[in-house]
Amino acid sequence: MFPHTQSGEPVHVLCYLCRNLDLDPLLSRTPSHRKLVPLVFVGYPPSPTCALCRLFAFYCANDGMGSGTLTSASWIYTTRPDWQDPGHGLDSRLLGIVPETAGYSHHEWAFHRALFRMRGYLGEPVTGPSSWAQGPIGPRSLQPGAIDYSLLRAWLGFCQQKHRNKPDCQPLKVDSTWCFRLIDCKTRLVVETSSLGTVCPPFLALSYVWGGAMQSRHLDYSKPLGDLPLSIEDGITVTQKLGFRYLWVDQYCIRQHDEGDKHFQIRLMAEIYGSAQATIVAAAGSDPTYGLPGVSTTQRSPQPYVKLRGRTLTWTYGSTRDDISNSVWSTRGWTYQEGVLSSRRLVFTDKQVYFQCGLSSFSEAFNIPFERAGWASHDNMFPRFRTAPYSLEIGDRIYEYTQRKLGNENDILNAFQGIQGQLAKHKPPIHNIWGIPVLCKPREWSPSPKGFLAGLCWSLEKSNGRRHGFPSWSWAGWKGPAMLHPENDVVHPLMEPDIYVAFESPDGHRTEWPEVGLSHGTGGRGDQGHLRVLILECLSFLFENQIFESRDLKNLGLETTNIYMEDLSANTDGLGVSADPPGLIHSLHNNPNWTSQDFNQCPLVGVPITLQTVWQESPRFFVLVLQNKAGSELHERIGHFEWSDPRQLFDFGTFMRTVTTKRRVFRII
């Protein structure tokens, strides 16, 4: 950020006004609780050559809230972090800047609290290991090429001691039947855990992006590992620096050319990451040759700071959410469950190291006393998974996961199997069939066919086409972010027409619902090829009228009907149906090009499913849209139907009496 002398010290060139800025009164005035004190009005344009102006401008440009850069109308505030109680002995002199372009009053505390938490703070750096437990609160000075491992060990030790009875933080106990391998960082040999004694020793796991640089290769497990990519070498270094000997790395601990071993080890992913003492996350670079910034040869971004009139003003960096979310690591499908399933994470970014366990989080550039750690965990990057609310968990996880990319589309369920396996162990459990969550009956823990029907009511935020090899009735069969409706965890037993549910294998063998065996775990983790074809016997209706592309709806005068017309012209995958009552078919195909002839040859069928939400009195319904496969008795799910009724003229019973229904049997592939 700043020019440097030959000795490495930055040259802090200051403009005339900044040279005369006295930090003493700025850093000595402490605000009262829930109050911001404006100190200095920056009434001059920032100088591009002034180090302090550039620090202020860089700070303002990093808020992510659209306020842009420092302008000639900005205020410097002294502030207290929103979770720091007055009179606690931890009062800190920290600064923040609020540009007038933010468009908010200086007295809106909630806005400023969120703004400063996102931007971070400016202040004098704190030093000394005693600050870990006692304070003060403030920035730490970081070295681009060095990491304070004693700090990282202190984070781990804090969680191990303070959270030892908390299920969100405690690693799982290793079962002797798991049979997996670890890298011995001392000998560089890959060893079987069964050879390390009756109790598996503590170990760390590594989560990283394979990228194009990572090529699977045959390994001679009798010889020490050599010629490792830099991220793996740095992972071994971090493991040893933190006082551990063993590290799990998928590329080396899974026999990549042994399909049987790969299948077995993939099923253990939840247990491996869940039982590691911590997971090292390489959230920098696009492949394993990049390394972990600050560990060896990969330098971190220099931390912005300025020396002025005998004081040093340092930036804490603020939230690490954007740094992690914008990383290549956060775009990959396989890394999703690795981050979620871990009990503790050490995330290496280009700026700093971020730590998060189940209850607390810490950033390397911002010193927070351990006793205040719980208050600092407002912006955790990873969700609380093990004790998350039952009804919200699965929908959120599937939506987050399906936004990511896979190098091999056939891994869509493999890379999510660890999440599914852990959900099956919840109380009550959530099993799955081809990724569709199977919710349990209320007050019972047995999988319910009505719970499966509720799981079928998913939609795509944006369709990217078909994923072949997976059922059309599962979100795994389509590319794009899948949205479930997690609040719909009960299929209403009174209004729901009786729907018979069964499955068939490709060779025609039928499995009735009681024989699926989800309560014994076979459906949750095993091969589900025998459940490939979904059998539904239910009421259905035909979309008998001509369909039109949504961009033509207004031209056809359909805005006078009951169709809700909000922004239909932008909805390129919605199809208006001139039926009575009318609505929109949301197609899973990207930009469908159906003609009237195609529609008449392969008519669309609607299968209504009634859903009763927990906290709403009236049920809602979801209509699966099926299309016959030409020349066969099979159907595919190609979308869902939303009936828009802004005037509330119909309820579900009226809808079912309005359309002509017939009970039919559908075999859906």
Q: Looking at the domain assignment, is residue 65 inside a domain?
A: yes
Q: Which residues contact 654 (CB under 8 A, 6 or more apart)?
A: none
Residue 226 burial (CB count, 10 A): 6
Long-range contacts of 664-667 (CB under 8 A, 24+ apart): 664/537, 664/538, 664/540, 664/605, 665/535, 665/536, 665/537, 666/534, 666/535, 666/536, 666/537, 666/538, 666/540, 666/605, 666/607, 666/626, 666/635, 667/504, 667/533, 667/534, 667/535, 667/633, 667/634, 667/635
- Placement of tokens 């459906």 in the chain: 523
Quote the radius of gyration of the chain (alpha carbons, Å): 29
**Segment 38-92, tens digit of pLDDT:** 556 555 567 788 888 888 877 877 544 334 444 444 566 665 555 455 444 445 6
230 touches 291 (CB < 8 A): yes
The residue among 379, 408, 423 that closes a domain is 379
Q: Looking at the domain assignment, is residue 129 inside a domain?
A: no
Q: Looking at the domain assignment, is residue 534 inside a domain?
A: yes
According to DSSP, the residues that pair with 533 across neighbouring strands are 504
Please name the amino acid found at residue 605: V
- Let me know whether 153 and 217 are in one domain: yes
- Let me know whether 436 and 570 are in one domain: yes
Q: Looking at the domain assignment, is residue 313 inside a domain?
A: no
- Let me know whether 27 and 58 are in one domain: yes
430 touches 424 (CB < 8 A): yes
470 touches 433 (CB < 8 A): no
- Let me know whether 285 and 368 are in one domain: yes
Measured CA distances, 45 to 50, 58, 307 (Å): 11, 14, 21
**Segment 424-476, tens digit of pLDDT:** 887 778 889 999 998 776 566 778 888 899 889 999 988 888 999 999 999 99
Its sign, for the CA torsion 256, 343, 523, 586, is: negative
Mean pLDDT value across residues 172-185: 92
Nearest to 337 by CA among 460, 469, 205: 205
Q: Looking at the domain assignment, is residue 423 inside a domain?
A: yes
Mean pLDDT value across residues 22-34: 65
Q: Averaging pLDDT over each range in 132-141, 221-230, 656-665, which range is the top one?
A: 221-230
Q: Looking at the domain assignment, is residue 315 inside a domain?
A: no
Q: Looking at the domain assignment, is residue 78 inside a domain?
A: yes
- 549: pLDDT confidence band, cut at 50, 70 and 90? very low
- Let me know whether 32 and 175 are in one domain: no
- Let me know whether 573 and 461 are in one domain: yes
- Let me know whether 505 and 647 are in one domain: yes
Instruction: Let me know if 598 is exposed, middle or buried by CB neighbors in 10 A (0-12, 13-18, 19+).
Output: middle
pLDDT reading at 568 higher than 80: no
- Let me know whether 436 and 330 are in one domain: no
Domain count, the chain: 3
User: What pLDDT score was predicted for residue 485?
Assistant: 66
- Let me know whether 433 and 563 are in one domain: yes
Please state, in angstroms and rounded to a whole number, the distance separating the CA atoms of residues 488 and 273: 31
**Segment 485-508, tens digit of pLDDT:** 655 444 444 445 589 999 999 889
The residue among 379, 400, 430 that closes a domain is 379
- Let me know whether 116 and 167 are in one domain: no
* Domain ranges, residue 23: 16-123
Q: Looking at the domain assignment, is residue 81 inside a domain?
A: yes
Please state, in angstroms and rounded to a whole number, the distance separating the CA atoms of residues 60 and 527: 53
User: What pLDDT score was predicted for residue 395?
Assistant: 87
- Placement of tokens 């959530």 in the chain: 430
Q: Which residues contact 105 (CB under 8 A, 6 or more apart)?
A: none
